[in-house]
Amino acid sequence: MESMIVSAAQGYASSRPATQPGAGTGNSMFGQMAADFAGTLAQSEAVAQKAMVGDVDPHALVQALAQTELAVETAVTVRNRVVEAYQEILRMPV
């Protein structure tokens, strides 16, 4: 009986860190995605500013704008999916 208690305590102790937020969890994935999104926007803005003064060719500007458009569409799609999942959870009977 005592060995079952020790085994259960060890199992709980080993699974507990997985339930706590940290560097190895999915939170870092969303943080990295947000950082990449912000980086894409900042890079595109810099290219747009350089294009206004004539330092960048129009092709680079169009490419930067296309990357920004894709990043924004992706962010909106992810947001919509998260909202849909949240609404689905709210509809679940308690």
The arithmetic mean of pLDDT across residues 75-81, rounded, is 94
Would you list the domain boundaries of the chain? 26-91
Percent of the chain residues past pLDDT 70, beyond the cut: 72
Radius of gyration of the chain (CA): 23
With left for phi above 0 and alpha for psi between -120 and 50, is residue 54 left, alpha or beta? Answer: left
- Give the per-residue pLDDT at 9: 63
Q: What is the pTM of this model?
A: 0.62
Rounded distance between C-alpha atoms, residue 9 and residue 13, angstroms: 6
Binned at pLDDT 50, 70 and 90, residue 19 comes out as: very low
